[in-house]
Structure 1
Amino acid sequence: MLFIKEYSKALEYHQKVLLCWLKIKIHGVARTNDICDYCGQDECKNKRTEAYKISFSNETKLFFTFDIIERLITGIPTDLLKIVSSYKNNEVIESDKSEIEKLFKESGYTNFYQKKHGKDFVNLLSRSTCTYCNRNYTLNVSTKHASSQLDHWFPKSMFPILALSFFNLIPSCGSCNHIKGQSDKEDDWWENNSLLEMLHPYFPDNSENFKFDFTYEESSDEFIVKFRDVTGNKIIQTLNFNLTKEIYQAHSHLELKDLYNLRKKYTTNYITFLLEKLHEVEPSYDEKYRLLFGVEKNQNDYHKRPFSKFKNDIIEKLLEID
């Protein structure tokens, strides 16, 4: 998994798009002389937004205060779970819950945010590849338009009111989305154990790390993907949950074999020469690395190209072989 470390622009965009939108949908239209009364701005992105198709009860409006709405949009995962707990235990608004959940999941996420703003959101995060696997690009192209896929870290099927929460939206690929969707974890585990047992993409933990490794079985001409330098229990749980080893094992006969054959064909000294001595002024070392191996060298840029972490770790290992 690649952590999302810089997200200030995306968070600001997310707030502008959704805060007034959700307030209008729940509490009704509020604008005076073409100015949004919720934010006081005439350039508000939602000044033409209409209220939801039904009117929610006063009890529901009292639960979804402006403060709760703002926390749902921008709150960190631990705070989001507190709101979820209060929501689940609130029986007074039970009659509105079905429509509230449709508002967040269908009207809000599927028909509004993902369709109209998902691509811009991912672009502002500067995420080109899947956060979970770094194997596929996040862009999804159809006959009509291109959009970026987003995963809900807390599944929206179990936590519908978190469907629009910033820290619950993870740029991902269709394969990893499917893997998460097939998980047998229940909502109780997500609510009570997930943050204790797994790493969250927006919150890096420098004590939890790993590198890819491999062994080569000459008798069967087979490459076995492994991990090395693993530190921390959360990283192990996260790798297992996302089927990271299985995903890369499926590509070992292509990506890993190419690197292995390159190393066997050329000496370490020759590869080092290409990287360090060839055209010493231009291009840079990182640029030459990208040209040679098709991936990013800088860890902060791994997300830009598929297989960057995997190939870097494997190249490091191959260069150690005599």
Structure 2
Amino acid sequence: MRKILITDDIRRMANEYVEKLFSDRNGKFVKPIDGLRDFANELRDLGKINYADYVDVIINNYKEILKLEPNEFEDYKHTHFTILTNDDLVKTIKGYPNNKKFYEIIVDKMRYDAVQKKEIRPYMKKLGIKACVYCNASYTVATDDDRATFQIDHSYPKSKYPFLCTSFFNLQPSCMHCNQIKSKNDDYTYSMYTNDYKELNPFYFSIESESIIKYMLNHDSDNLKFRLRSNDDDKIANKHCEFFHLDNLYTQFTDAAEEVVWKGKTFNKAYREQLMNMFKRFFPFGIDDFKRFYLGFYPDPKDVNKRPLTLLMQGIAKDMGLE
């Protein structure tokens, strides 16, 4: 749940994605522009001129659309895609099997299926994202046809913004739990990218001190209570929690919280300094590597997305004085 600052390096990565997209596919692979042109012609034959014009806008601005940044999404829609309403986008198109809706056909023609399975994977690896950007509780990998694949969600939903279905900055790694929730309800938008460094850490976990006392009396981890909070306004954290059902989800991870509490009670500053003196030769790259050794998780906020539950454990470690 840590955001990624859009820097020049990230923009270069997005440009590389755009330029290399489907470049290694053979002649049998129908690329987006070709599929969209055929679809626009079919729509005109059906007399659906406004729908065809919508598709033409995608064709004419294809590369630009692929690298739009989140702060441009809304304005771009209002500037270029007012031809159709949201209700128009979910209407079925005559002649397409399974009563496919217009936006679903756009997603197919733009080859989102291929983007999800192959094209976006190297970039998620470069970004170091392995944990769900919405819950930070699960890995973003699922198995499909005996192969591990990234689960990808859209910050701005396909049903309302089909033109963004393969845009670099609209693709976000998520777990199956959060992906299913978002697919059923597209009223909430959360982007893992930001142009403001002050927004890098929108959430953190905090453990209730009273619950630690109760836990120490009986060592029942169910007594440990923690909550997601926001640096700016807890209403934002509460909304995020409610939408993704995080309160119920995180009740399953009290054992992870328990381990951090143990370390907080036993690894006092003097003991940590003793360990550092004994083993510092094994950690030539800095204090963070040493902290990871005795904490058992990534201590640096920039590494939150590398492993599930890192945000939770970092928050409890801070409350326990393990920084």
Q: What range is the shorter-chain TM-score in? A: 0.7 to 0.9
Superposed CA deviations along residues 22-74 of structure 1, whole A, max 9, x for unmatched, are 333334xxxxxxxxxxxxxxxxxxxxxxx669645495358426553233212
Partners of 2:138 and 2:308 within 8 A in 1: yes
Structure 2 residue 76 is matched with structure 1 residue 74: no
- The alpha-carbon deviation at position 227 of structure 1 amounts to 4.4
- The alpha-carbon deviation at position 258 of structure 1 amounts to 1.4
Superposed CA deviations along residues 58-96 of structure 1, whole A, max 9, x for unmatched, are 953584265532332121235333444453534999997
Matched residue, 1:30: none
Partners of 1:22 and 1:69 within 8 A in 2: no
Partners of 1:129 and 1:172 within 8 A in 2: yes
Partners of 2:103 and 2:158 within 8 A in 1: no
What residue identity is the alignment partner of 1:280?
K
What residue identity is the alignment partner of 2:271?
Y
Matched residue, 2:19: 16
Q: 1:279 to 1:250 in 2, by over 3 A?
A: same
Matched residue, 1:214: 207
- The alpha-carbon deviation at position 313 of structure 1 amounts to 1.8
- Aligned to 1:281, the other structure's residue is in SS state helix
- The alpha-carbon deviation at position 153 of structure 1 amounts to 1.0
Q: 1:13 to 1:271 in 2, by over 3 A?
A: same
Structure 2, unmatched stretches of 5+, are: 24-30, 95-99
Aligned pair partner of 2:81 in 58, 77, 87:
87
Query: What is the identity percentage for the equivalent residue pairs of Structure 1 and Structure 2?
Result: 21
- The alpha-carbon deviation at position 19 of structure 1 amounts to 8.8
Structure 2 residue 23 is matched with structure 1 residue 26: no
Partners of 1:10 and 1:124 within 8 A in 2: no
C-alpha distance in 2 between matches for 1:144 and 1:259? 35
Aligned pair partner of 2:155 in 115, 131, 153:
153
Partners of 1:212 and 1:313 within 8 A in 2: yes
Matched residue, 2:170: 168
- The alpha-carbon deviation at position 166 of structure 1 amounts to 1.8
C-alpha distance in 2 between matches for 1:266 and 1:134? 26
- Aligned to 1:226, the other structure's residue is in SS state strand
Aligned pair partner of 1:202 in 193, 200, 203:
193
- Aligned to 1:64, the other structure's residue is in SS state helix
- Aligned to 1:129, the other structure's residue is in SS state coil
C-alpha distance in 2 between matches for 1:128 and 1:286? 19
Partners of 1:104 and 1:162 within 8 A in 2: no
Superposed CA deviations along residues 230-262 of structure 1, whole A, max 9, x for unmatched, are 32468434454344444333312x100111123
Structure 1, unmatched stretches of 5+, are: 28-50
- The alpha-carbon deviation at position 295 of structure 1 amounts to 1.6
Superposed CA deviations along residues 259-317 of structure 1, whole A, max 9, x for unmatched, are 1123334444213432x323233313222222223321222222222222221221121
- The alpha-carbon deviation at position 17 of structure 1 amounts to 4.4
Matches within 5 A, 1:123-138: 123-138=125-140
What residue identity is the alignment partner of 2:319?
K
Partners of 2:35 and 2:109 within 8 A in 1: no
- The alpha-carbon deviation at position 131 of structure 1 amounts to 1.5
C-alpha distance in 1 between matches for 2:153 and 2:176? 9
The alignment covers a number of residue pairs equal to 285
Structure 2 residue 141 is matched with structure 1 residue 114: no
Matches within 5 A, 1:1-322: 1-5=1-5, 7-8=10-11, 10-18=13-21, 21-27=31-37, 55=42, 57=44, 60=52, 63-64=56-57, 66-85=59-78, 86-90=80-84, 101-183=103-185, 185=187, 194=189, 200-203=191-194, 205-208=196-199, 209-215=202-208, 216=211, 218=214, 221=220, 222-227=223-228, 230-232=231-233, 235-236=236-237, 237-252=239-254, 254-274=255-275, 276-283=276-283, 284-319=286-321
Superposed CA deviations along residues 201-244 of structure 1, whole A, max 9, x for unmatched, are 11154545443111216177401112467324684344543444
C-alpha distance in 2 between matches for 1:289 and 1:117? 35
What residue identity is the alignment partner of 1:202?
Y
TM-score, normalising length: structure 2? 0.72
Matched residue, 1:40: none
Q: 1:124 to 1:9 in 2, by over 3 A?
A: farther
